Amino acid sequence: MRYKHIIPYLQEKTSWVENDLVYHLKEIDMPSRLRESMEYSLLAGGKRIRPALVFASIESLGKDPKIGLSVASAIEMIHTYSLIHDDLPSMDNDDYRRGKLTNHKVYGEAMAILAGDALLTMAFGTIMKTKVHYPDVRPEALLQLIEEISKYAGPYGMVGGQVVDIISQGEPGNLETLRYIHQHKTADMIICSVRSGAILAGASSEQLYHLTRFASSLGLAFQIQDDILDEIGNSERMGKTAGSDRSNQKLTYPSLIGIEASQEEVNLLVSEAKDQLKLAKILHPVLFDLADFLLHRES
């Protein structure tokens, strides 16, 4: 299975990002307790899928993936802030994340909120560090990235999806509402990652269009797979409590259409995503391999 070759790729890119995240955290003078709380979640592990998609998009367009390092780190900061807040008692009230106690269980609810706030605001300054290390990157591209990331992370995107997720709990569900939640809460930051890499690499407008559709299908498939794993997955392997969606009465694909139909939907979406790569005339295998990896993952 060719997609298994993506694991060393992910390990390498994870190393890049984690070293960069440590660098950015050390660079800023802040209260030690806040730094500990931020580091606790930011360096807690994970597959770093979103940074990998930034790098893979750049690489697929024939450019040096390292030009995306600061942007990839910024996106991981935003993703981590969203996880910290998502786990709070007022949200999902989860006890474990990536096999460790959630941030608020260790540092308290107030510090967890502030750590998330700090990561979100720090992310936008981190994006601009690209110009320091890679002066040839166009300033217009960085300004476009800031605009896009704020869009996909904000009320249009991830935050809006989270709101609909919260107000839908315990309510009769439908696929239209669920697709909205998954599209914005999860897929939008995956779209943002792919588009960010493509913009840095100078993608044509046609390539950007098809890569956006690739990421949209992949992001939706990624979240449906999460829904499935929450029902049938292993808590230890996933690093979080299996069955939490059901206990919280959350709207999921398995709860609406069942496990088998949900798995079929994932397969269809990944196939559609690959078709978009072909239309974008992407010949490099890394994005195809990432799509297969996400299709077959177990955590």
- At 182, the pLDDT band (50, 70, 90 cuts) reads very high
- At 237, the pLDDT band (50, 70, 90 cuts) reads very low
State the pTM of this model: 0.91
Q: Determine which helix (DSSP H) or strand (DSSP E) holds 101, and give its type and residue range.
A: strand 100-101
- At 295, the pLDDT band (50, 70, 90 cuts) reads confident
For the cut 80, the answer to whether the pLDDT of residue 298 exceeds it is no
Closest CA to 193 of 82, 282, 73: 73
In tens, the pLDDT along 105-157 reads 999 999 999 999 999 999 999 999 998 888 989 899 999 999 999 999 999 99
Q: Which span out of 5-9, 69-73, 170-174 was modeled with the highest average pLDDT?
A: 69-73
For the cut 50, the answer to whether the pLDDT of residue 231 exceeds it is yes
Q: Rounded mean pLDDT of the chain?
A: 91
Which residue segments constitute the domains of the chain, with CATH numbers given?
A: 2-296 (1.10.600.10)
- At 167, the pLDDT band (50, 70, 90 cuts) reads confident
CA distances from 205 to 142, 191, 208, 235, 277 (A): 17, 15, 5, 42, 14
DSSP structure class, residue 155: T
- Supply the pLDDT for residue 251: 81
The answer to whether the beta carbons of residues 66 and 204 sit under 8 Å apart is no
Dihedral, CA atoms, 260, 261, 266, 268, nearest 10 degrees?
Answer: 120
Spell out the residues 6+ positions from residue 164 whose beta carbon is closer than 8 angstroms to its own: 177, 180, 181, 184, 185
For the cut 80, the answer to whether the pLDDT of residue 159 exceeds it is yes
Output the 3-class SS for 39-98.
HHHHCCCCCCHHHHHHHHHHHHCCCCHHHHHHHHHHHHHHHHHHHHHHCCCCCCCCCEEC
Region label for 161, one of left (φ > 0), alpha (ψ between -120 and 50) or beta (otherwise): alpha
For the cut 80, the answer to whether the pLDDT of residue 249 exceeds it is no
CA 113 to chain centre: 19
- Supply the pLDDT for residue 234: 54
Stated length of the chain: 299
